[in-house]
A and B are shown apart, each in its own frame.
Chain A
């Protein structure tokens, strides 16, 4: 009887993990796979996968949109899980021809897309139960933050600066991951009227009068630190520049839209609403 039970357990363990060598492309997907407890099966990641620390030493197959078929094949994977923008198309075809199963996750860089990504990976890896639990936790976290933010009156005006392009800030407009996470954290994106990441006119930045500048850690460092950015003439004259308010966060955490998005939204919310930080929780 006990032996039979052991066999059943082994069989279900084997069923639960149908893939032994997984390559992930897309930081959000890597986070989902590890959050579902399959980190041990990952044998390669792309350059956008920077979390959790345990996977960062794995071979890097390059940028998610510029993969090389042969490079991926050196890792002898049986499955490639890719974000919706994984490419190029021809390389995916070559990988399939070489016997690698290629699965492209549903797209989206917003709060609603995360459960779909978790569900997709969960079904693929035979971890539907873990996926259901993770989605429930994710939705509870997001709902809790939304409730807490209802009590917050203040809606700071935020400008997300991705990088500088020929001296002009490249800012996050509508429909960007930056725009979505600012809204989730109870802020208002001041870069409106255009989609995507675009250079913004310096006078338009003055006119938009942001209260806070939001940047990714690495990019802030490359520009010589947050102080350098706040000292730019078009920013120094805005409320953000005068009150020296800038927030920097890890790029993948902030914009990844994976399982850590509740954490990112809460961290940003606490930084945006310091007077209500206690009410927003840890």
Chain B
């Protein structure tokens, strides 16, 4: 009988081996590439502050940073654009890291938070608050009301994650195949629930939930940012610490186990942290599709397969993509503002198709 090592062997972090198992760029080039992504995200963040339906010249931005801007500019930058930019950073990071982790754990390039039902659960929670909130929460003090919808979305996401992990556990093992199939079932049930609530909703609720379901960063404010920031920061930090086990998962769950990874713990952690990140991102901005799917793929194209690089790369790319999409919807038809889901799908859809076609071509050439 083979003995099972308790801790990851030292060679896991060995640079030479790591380079052999990835098809990415040279290790030395990676910090530079990551800096490039950071620059892109920063540029998008500055663009988010400077560009918009109301023209704010760079000089005004400097004046605002120095605390010398006039009241109107200060309100636009301080109350509208700055919280929006920070929320895009948080939501983009949360969705991208969750997508990367799920794709790694499930070893499925299609995986995104929608796959195992997390987004559907969040939607069901939020729509429940929109439709039944008036009846259920009449006694809630007014100043707490704005937090009911985020709480609903978060509880929905957490409940679904807990449930899919519970049902896919057999004899101390979590089956990834069962996890995905349970996700499909949960998606169906949650969307049926959303459908039922849509049916009983009145006209005003119907319009509210239709717009919520397309996602928007328009509701960004400092209180929303303050609630979202700690949750996403903590889960982002903890997801980064899963980088090595995620690399080993790529060799297969058994191989990862025999390399000393406590696979059950990693799966559980990944599930919980994903639910935290996606739940709070969805709570703050509605269900925003494609970022969790596309950002990890783009990061892998740029940085190779190692999760130590892919995770921060995906977070930066998710942020940059979300900010770009937000700029598109803000600048498209001012003074109106279409929902952001339209823009992320417009960017994400064609990219995903391109990815699919190049992968297929690659396979036929092999």
How far is A97 from B250 in the complex, measured between Cα atoms in Å? 50
Across the interface, do A98 and B219 meet the contact criterion of CB distance under 8 Å? Answer: no
How far is A75 from B53 in the complex, measured between Cα atoms in Å? 10
Interface locus among A190-198, A232-240, A268-276: A190-198
Determine whether A33 belongs to the interface, using a CB cutoff of 8 Å to chain B.
no
Most buried by B among A61, A67, A196: A196
Minimum CB–CB distance from B36 to chain A (whole Å) comes to 30
The residues of B with any CB-CB pair to A shorter than 8 Å are: 52-54, 71-72, 75-76, 79-81, 146, 199, 201-204, 206-208, 211, 216, 218-221, 224, 330, 333-337, 339
Most buried by B among A74, A75, A195: A74
Give the number of residues in A that approach B within 8 Å (Cβ atoms).
34
How far is A93 from B53 in the complex, measured between Cα atoms in Å? 18
Closest A residue to B71 using CB positions: A99
Across the interface, do A70 and B52 meet the contact criterion of CB distance under 8 Å? Answer: yes
Minimum CB–CB distance from B148 to chain A (whole Å) comes to 12
Minimum CB–CB distance from B55 to chain A (whole Å) comes to 9
Across the interface, do A196 and B337 meet the contact criterion of CB distance under 8 Å? Answer: no
Determine whether A68 belongs to the interface, using a CB cutoff of 8 Å to chain B.
yes
A65, A68, A87, A88: the one within 8 Å of B330 (CB): A68
Taking A70-B52, A70-B53, A73-B53 as known contacts, 20 extra A-B pairs with beta carbons closer than 8 A to each other, sorted by chain A number, are A61-B335, A61-B336, A62-B335, A65-B204, A65-B208, A65-B211, A68-B53, A69-B218, A70-B54, A70-B335, A71-B334, A72-B335, A74-B335, A75-B335, A93-B221, A97-B75, A98-B79, A99-B75, A196-B201, A198-B199
- Known contacts being A94-B80, A98-B75, is A89 close to B335, with CB within 8 Å? no
Minimum CB–CB distance from B273 to chain A (whole Å) comes to 28
Across the interface, do A68 and B72 meet the contact criterion of CB distance under 8 Å? Answer: no
Closest A residue to B329 using CB positions: A68
- Known contacts being A89-B146, A195-B202, is A70 close to B76, with CB within 8 Å? yes
Across the interface, do B76 and A197 meet the contact criterion of CB distance under 8 Å? Answer: no
- Known contacts being A62-B335, A68-B330, A90-B219, is A98 close to B80, with CB within 8 Å? yes
How far is A72 from B52 in the complex, measured between Cα atoms in Å? 12
What is the number of contacts between chain A and chain B, taking CB atoms within 8 Å? 97
- Known contacts being A65-B211, A66-B211, A85-B204, is A74 close to B334, with CB within 8 Å? yes
* Set of chain B residues within 8 Å of A44, measured between Cβ atoms: 335
Closest A residue to B75 using CB positions: A98
- Known contacts being A87-B208, A94-B221, A196-B203, is A71 close to B337, with CB within 8 Å? yes
Pairs A–B under 8 Å by Cβ, sample size 17: A62-B333, A63-B336, A66-B339, A68-B330, A68-B337, A70-B80, A70-B335, A71-B53, A71-B330, A74-B334, A74-B335, A88-B218, A90-B219, A90-B221, A91-B218, A98-B72, A98-B76
* Set of chain B residues within 8 Å of A101, measured between Cβ atoms: none
* Set of chain A residues within 8 Å of B71, measured between Cβ atoms: 99
B54, B81, B146, B207: the one within 8 Å of A74 (CB): B54
How far is A87 from B208 in the complex, measured between Cα atoms in Å? 9
* Set of chain A residues within 8 Å of B53, measured between Cβ atoms: 68, 70-71, 73-74
How far is A44 from B336 in the complex, measured between Cα atoms in Å? 11
Across the interface, do B335 and A59 meet the contact criterion of CB distance under 8 Å? Answer: yes
How far is A98 from B54 in the complex, measured between Cα atoms in Å? 12
- Known contacts being A66-B211, A73-B54, is A97 close to B79, with CB within 8 Å? yes
How far is A88 from B209 in the complex, measured between Cα atoms in Å? 11
The 7 A-B pairs of least Cβ separation, nearest first, read A62-B336, A71-B335, A68-B337, A98-B75, A90-B219, A74-B53, A97-B79
